[in-house]
Chain A
Amino acid sequence: MPLASPLRALLPALLVVAALSPVASAQRALTDIPVPDPAAELAAMEVAEGYEVNLFAADPAICKPLQINFDPRGRLWVSSSSVYPQLRPGEIPDDTVTVLDDTDGDGVADVSQVFASGLHMPTAVLPGDGGCYVANATEMLHLADTDGDGRADTRRTVLSGFGTEDTHHLIHTFRWGVDSRLYFNQSIYIHSHVETPFGVHRLNGGGMWRFRPSTLDLAVFARGWVNPWGHAIDPWGRSLVTDGAGGEGINLGFPGAAYFTAIGTPRILHGMNPGSPKLCGLEILSGAHLPADAHGVLVTHDFRANRVCRYRLTESGSGFESEKLPDLIRSSRVDFRPIDVKMGPDGAIYIADWYNPIIQHGEVDFRDDRRDRMHGRIWRVAAQGRALVPRFDATTLSNGELIDLLMADGWARDAARRVLVERGLAEVGPDLDACSSAARRAAPGTAGYHPALERRCLELLWLRQGLDDGSSAAIDGTLLARVLGSPDPHARAAAARVVVDWADRLGRAGAGPAGSPGPIDLLAPTVDDDAPAVRLEGVRALAAVGARVGASPADSNRAAALALHVVDHPRDDALDYAVWLAARELQGAWLPAVLAGSFDDGGKLARVLFAIRAAEATAASGWMIDRWRSGAVTGTELDMLIDAIALLGDAGHQQSVFGFVSDPATPAVRAATVLGQQVEAHRKRRVVPEGDLKGLTRLVASREPALAAAAIDAAGLWQVAEAADGLGEIAADPGRDLAVRQGAIRALGNLPGSAAHESLARVAGAAATPEPVLAAALSALVGRSLIDASALTAAWLATGPGDGAIHEVMRAFLGARGAADRLAQALSTTTLAPATARTALQDVTAAGRPEPGLTAVLEGAAAAAGGRTMTAEERAWILARVALGANAGRGRELYRRENLRCVACHRIDREGGRVGPNLTAIGSAAQPDYLLDSLLDPAKNVKEGYGSLVVVTADGQVTSGIPVSRSDTELVLRDSLDKEVRLQLADIEEQAPGTSLMPAGLVDGLPAEDLADLVRYLSALGR
């Protein structure tokens, strides 16, 4: 079917109708809806020098493209959804997969065939196996065309059980890996429970799956991210991932790793471009059509800002460094929404433009009329003045031709691999065997050898992996060994992953040099490889082989022992993470062996200590104590050993450690480090050393600042009453650093007994005490004596202290049950400056619960100067000014002013707190009058979901905050300081809904002009 040209003439009329129809939602901010004319959209693109853009395809041939992928014949498969974001009651889901072809090679699609319809939000499509794999809400389908008419006639559920909690999180980003597995991703809100004949696979949250359709081998490849909407694989098989909400740019993904947002792990990896925009789609540029300087460049999309971005990677350590390059395309049009990008069979770059002025469906109503449901474009970006790559149909080539094409770039290599894999082992095997043995024979140093042979051998290995039918004959251990021994570290690293796939069929596992090499034998050299990237893949492979079902205890133990070799070598963050993860995954193997004295650490205690710390193996602390007492451990290993006992030991072990710390012979700096670990152990596990802790009093007085600081912390946490006098002296000593004095006061606050109390009262009552110290002392007193604390605080407030100090003390009162009323009583006979009262009132509001007594006293004092009252005229004037002349730039400066405290609680893009609603797109959702009213009276309209919860715990602490999460045992609140507070459900005595946490009166001091600028700035956000 030839493409019809868009119905341009009709569109303006349609838009007028749309604009006149009643808009159900209150969000009218985006009123300037562009005319969906591809020519106008193209004209608005600013394209990087040397490139040109043309329209490859557009509506009505396609609508709302979600993913594009080329097939081995060079045709482009497009999945489209007009159902997104939500099926209407009564609507029959009828989304499509369309196949586009450019048969005459002019860069414009001339054939468009609807391959399948009746789909429900097909967020991904990938051609293969006689049809295509399609994401269809809860399922992955395979649609096939068995009669060759170009339309699917069979529909099979391949996998099911994927979550639909958020329809832009549905499984997406399908692609074939170099191993010919189908890789696909899900986003953060999705909870998937997928059955295969081998068990149930669950993934709660974001992550990447990988799946071999022929064997139904399904696994989670990596976990985390918010919206991992881009996944490219470099020529050496390394996965690069972008996140449509994460803001860390390009991520390097490897097996088993966890990334931003992953739960249930204490450690995650990060992307290479922190602070980058949110990105969608990812492709690596290659091929003769593009200029050499473009090769290897990554292309992805900042769809929010309507631009196509470029990054360049440079190898570094075990991975890469990533540098942002100038954009490939920028558009001034809000409707240009590039979301996917693929290299085409002609060597040009193809970009799917979802085309929509409205993105997302959280902020903007599902049914908003401005949401476009019918348009979509595929743009083609070519290098100016350069010849295209001749296009071919890979399905018509011979096995030999296709095997040679595995050395090509981009589409051609992927197409060749796909066709070969689909032909199957029986048809391709003999040719592959011949090529493999020829390649193997050409060793480095022999005639006819070329370094490119290393890539060729790896490609042959990957092809072998793709053709795997599970039989013993399917694998090629000789070729695998050849690639593992390659002079090229890229090949060695990639081959380590293949060992995992074949582990059960390689030799007799762990048979050693006498038998044919087993998987662990093959991987053994990788962990001491010169190249950090090989060590990384090696340690991940050993963890997988050692932890796999059916591995013998001896094999697991050996895999663990080898994995820990990596500890001997320098480690960047990713490599350190990889071995940390291996130590945790193989804990069941090495820990019993260590305890039994049978673990082979190669004489390097550091390996075992690394593993113990990684796994937080408290069960090993007795073993460590024994090693210490044996006297056989010396030097830096002894230091590491004592540090690990300090972190993981029980109360008895901590006593031994404290003996070391308090021994005058121990150097002060060393004692500070170890004591710091003991403090950490208390924070994590509430463990206090047994025995006499009086020795701490000497350490509190140490001249070594680090030791004194650690001792002060320890004295408070361990409640060493004997330290009270020493702490009191420090607290009162004007010659001491303020932070040290504050630390001493915090410690005193924890100590039992009257000495601590008297010290605090003395500091709080002394006229010369500096304000920060005084504030700390008053706060500490709140928990000990409300009478003293209230009287002293009332007198202090009357002196007009600074805002920061007021906030600290007020929060202490508001955090203790009954304390606010006590303070109100004390204040009833005190005269406060209005400014002081207003500052204190902000904290009362921020507590999110009624404190009528304290509020009344403070309001009385504040009103003495008159709060802000706004007349209707003034309000109208401000709103008129917002509409006509206010300065958003000045508003932005005001927003960032510290005393307005906006940034502390609200987030715009990546900056700011999260206790208040995110304001990134507030302008598209809220009217200026609403914004003004919310600034003046925060309690008037509390955004749903931002109502606070007030919780009283058994210890009398009162915590107010926005609920973040709740499990069976724990409630997490975000308090008004934007900090997460974790509360054990068992400790909670009362809880009740509170009000807005936003302090009232924040903008009372602003002139009307400033208020107008601020509202103008906020109302422009997200538009």
Chain B
Amino acid sequence: MPSPARPRPGGLPPLAAQLFLAVAMVPWSGSGAAEPAGQPRFELQTGDRVVLLGDAIIEREGERGAIETGLVTTHPGAHLTFRNLGWSGDTVWAESRGVFDAPSAGYARLIDLVRGLEPTVVIVAYGRNESFASAAGLAAFRAQLGRLCRDLRGPTREAGDGAPPTRLVLVTPPPFEATPPLSAVAATARNAALSDYAAAIRAVAIDEGAGVVDLFGGVTDSLPAGERLTENGVHLSAAGYDAAAAVFAVACGRPLSGDFAVRTATLRAAVNTKNRLFFHRWRPANETYLFLFRRHEQGNNAVEIPQFDPLVEAAEATVQKLAQESL
């Protein structure tokens, strides 16, 4: 149920442009070995720059760091870097990203933002919020997810420019869980709808040559007995995130070791610190005054926002160092 977004005077903020610049300073390293494009499997390569995109599952992963830490530890020495662009309530139409504009403008900004980060891999986790539209919304969701994939991948690169195409990984949403306040009856009904959306995501992955991580089908099986998957029927618990991390790891053929959560506590804290700093970089508070229609008042302070770049960079270095040490 999207509300009407208020139009914003002044057009696009320079944030995306600044962020792009910042990326050049972040020590992404290596360009990775070329892989045949279009093959629907999930594989991470040395030096991959991964963007995580989605709704609150991805947004809260930025505080939990489970999936990211799992992928880092299962790829020793691969120097993987992650940037989390999750946004609560978001959909394949970028309904949470319009800010003062219509969602379509937020969508355009999102595509610019992702392309500016020059990822080699984009992990796309949508579908749960959309699934409330049930069968009536399924076709539109599927079409838009396909469009999102193509927009994220961008125009086909010129042959021979040396840059491999962006690889996409589509993630199915974890199931709703019959736990308070969500009743068993409600959870069953939700999962019936969600099952269709998960199937649509798998189908789009085949169409678009994307890899798949199937949380809908697999995350409950990875959950230790007696643990709840979610905190409230919908948002993953700590154990739920660890289970999701396990599914991601298996999906790229590198299962987690049993003592993952304990062994990686320090690394995970460093991942979360880096993610918090990056959050303040790409979604700073007071955007209205720094970049938008009241920038005539405080736009001078927008200079502070790129000052997060070296901090993100330093935190990233810590993550990489700890990742090396955990080998």
Q: Do A and B bind each other?
A: yes
Chain A positions within 8 Å of B, measured between CB atoms, are: 25, 85-90, 121, 137-138, 156-157, 160-161, 163-167, 170, 189, 191-197, 199-205, 214-217, 263-264, 361-363, 365-367, 470, 943-946, 963-968, 970, 972
B89-129 contacts to A, CB under 8 A, are 89-91, 95-96, 98-102, 104-105, 129
Q: Once the chains bind, are A945 and B287 in contact (CB under 8 Å)? A: no
Given A86-B286, A160-B60; A194-B296 close (CB under 8 Å)? no
Additional A-B contacts beyond A193-B88, A362-B289 (13; CB < 8 A): A90-B307, A90-B311, A156-B231, A164-B283, A166-B289, A167-B286, A170-B285, A192-B89, A194-B88, A195-B56, A197-B190, A197-B233, A945-B297
Q: Once the chains bind, are A214 and B289 in contact (CB under 8 Å)? A: no
CA distance A192 to B89 in the complex (A): 9
Binds A, one of B5-13, B38-46, B76-84, B207-215: B5-13
B248 in the interface (beta carbon within 8 A): no
Q: Once the chains bind, are B89 and A161 in contact (CB under 8 Å)? A: yes
- The smallest C-beta distance from B178 to any residue of chain A, in angstroms, reads 10
In the complex, the 3 A-B pairs of residues with the closest C-beta atoms, listed nearest first: A193-B89, A161-B88, A944-B296
Q: Which of A165, A166, A967, A970 has the most CB of B within 10 A?
A: A165
Residues of A within 8 A of B154 (CB): none
Among A138, A199, A965, point to the contact of B88 (Cβ < 8 A): A138
- The smallest C-beta distance from B117 to any residue of chain A, in angstroms, reads 20
Q: Which of A194, A197, A963 has the most CB of B within 10 A?
A: A197
Chain A residue at minimum C-beta to C-beta distance from B131: A199
B282 in the interface (beta carbon within 8 A): no
Among A87, A167, A195, A264, point to the contact of B3 (Cβ < 8 A): A264
CA distance A25 to B299 in the complex (A): 12
Q: Once the chains bind, are B289 and A965 in contact (CB under 8 Å)? A: no
CA distance A192 to B60 in the complex (A): 16
Residues of B within 8 A of A166 (CB): 286, 288-289
B321 in the interface (beta carbon within 8 A): no
CA distance A82 to B85 in the complex (A): 28
CA distance A453 to B6 in the complex (A): 48
CA distance A121 to B286 in the complex (A): 12
Given A166-B286, A194-B89, A945-B294; A963-B9 close (CB under 8 Å)? yes
Among A86, A170, A214, A361, point to the contact of B304 (Cβ < 8 A): A86
Among B176, B288, B305, point to the contact of A197 (Cβ < 8 A): B176
Chain A residue at minimum C-beta to C-beta distance from B305: A89
- The smallest C-beta distance from B8 to any residue of chain A, in angstroms, reads 7
B230-256 contacts to A, CB under 8 A, are 231-235
Q: Once the chains bind, are B308 and A85 in contact (CB under 8 Å)? A: no
CA distance A734 to B294 in the complex (A): 52
B171 in the interface (beta carbon within 8 A): no
CA distance A200 to B55 in the complex (A): 11
* 10 examples of A-B residue contacts, CB within 8 angstroms: A87-B285, A89-B311, A163-B99, A164-B283, A167-B286, A194-B89, A204-B6, A366-B301, A966-B9, A968-B7
Given A86-B285, A202-B1, A965-B8; A365-B308 close (CB under 8 Å)? no
What total of A-B pairs shows CB separation below 8 Å? 168
Given A191-B99, A945-B294; A89-B308 close (CB under 8 Å)? yes
Q: Once the chains bind, are B287 and A968 in contact (CB under 8 Å)? A: no
- The smallest C-beta distance from A872 to any residue of chain B, in angstroms, reads 29
- The smallest C-beta distance from B59 to any residue of chain A, in angstroms, reads 7
Given A202-B3, A362-B298; A165-B9 close (CB under 8 Å)? no
Q: Once the chains bind, are B176 and A195 in contact (CB under 8 Å)? A: no
Q: Once the chains bind, are B232 and A203 in contact (CB under 8 Å)? A: no
Residues of B within 8 A of A161 (CB): 56, 59, 87-89, 96
Residues of A within 8 A of B226 (CB): none
Q: Once the chains bind, are B88 and A362 in contact (CB under 8 Å)? A: no
Q: Once the chains bind, are B96 and A165 in contact (CB under 8 Å)? A: no
B269 in the interface (beta carbon within 8 A): no
Count the B residues whose beta carbon is within 8 Å of the partner chain — how many?
66
B295 in the interface (beta carbon within 8 A): yes
Q: Once the chains bind, are B181 and A214 in contact (CB under 8 Å)? A: yes
CA distance A717 to B70 in the complex (A): 69
B278-319 contacts to A, CB under 8 A, are 280, 283-289, 292-301, 304-305, 307-308, 311
Q: Once the chains bind, are A470 and B9 in contact (CB under 8 Å)? A: no
CA distance A166 to B234 in the complex (A): 29
B4 in the interface (beta carbon within 8 A): yes
Given A161-B56, A194-B89, A195-B234; A945-B293 close (CB under 8 Å)? yes
Contact bitstring B18-57, A, C-beta under 8 A = 1, else 0: 0000000000000000000000000000000000000110
Q: Once the chains bind, are B289 and A195 in contact (CB under 8 Å)? A: no
Given A86-B285, A193-B89, A202-B95; A968-B304 close (CB under 8 Å)? no
- The smallest C-beta distance from A723 to any residue of chain B, in angstroms, reads 39
Residues of B within 8 A of A204 (CB): 3-6, 98
CA distance A195 to B129 in the complex (A): 8
Residues of A within 8 A of B5 (CB): 191, 204
CA distance A756 to B104 in the complex (A): 47
Residues of A within 8 A of B9 (CB): 963-966
Given A193-B89, A194-B88, A195-B55; A164-B297 close (CB under 8 Å)? no
Chain A residue at minimum C-beta to C-beta distance from B283: A164
Among A87, A89, A160, A215, point to the contact of B181 (Cβ < 8 A): A215
Residues of A within 8 A of B91 (CB): 200
Residues of A within 8 A of B307 (CB): 89-90
B2 in the interface (beta carbon within 8 A): yes
Residues of B within 8 A of A943 (CB): 296
Q: Once the chains bind, are B60 and A157 in contact (CB under 8 Å)? A: yes
B182 in the interface (beta carbon within 8 A): yes
Given A362-B298, A945-B295, A963-B10; A195-B286 close (CB under 8 Å)? no
CA distance A170 to B295 in the complex (A): 18
Q: Once the chains bind, are A205 and B6 in contact (CB under 8 Å)? A: yes
Residues of B within 8 A of A89 (CB): 280, 304-305, 307-308, 311
CA distance A967 to B11 in the complex (A): 10
Chain A residue at minimum C-beta to C-beta distance from B300: A365
Given A362-B294, A966-B7; A197-B232 close (CB under 8 Å)? yes
Residues of B within 8 A of A167 (CB): 285-286
Given A137-B285, A161-B88, A166-B286; A191-B98 close (CB under 8 Å)? yes
Q: Once the chains bind, are B89 and A189 in contact (CB under 8 Å)? A: no
- The smallest C-beta distance from A974 to any residue of chain B, in angstroms, reads 10
Given A216-B232, A365-B301; A195-B88 close (CB under 8 Å)? yes
- The smallest C-beta distance from B1 to any residue of chain A, in angstroms, reads 7
Among A86, A200, A972, point to the contact of B1 (Cβ < 8 A): A200
CA distance A399 to B18 in the complex (A): 60
Among B2, B182, B190, B301, point to the contact of A86 (Cβ < 8 A): B301
Residues of B within 8 A of A170 (CB): 285
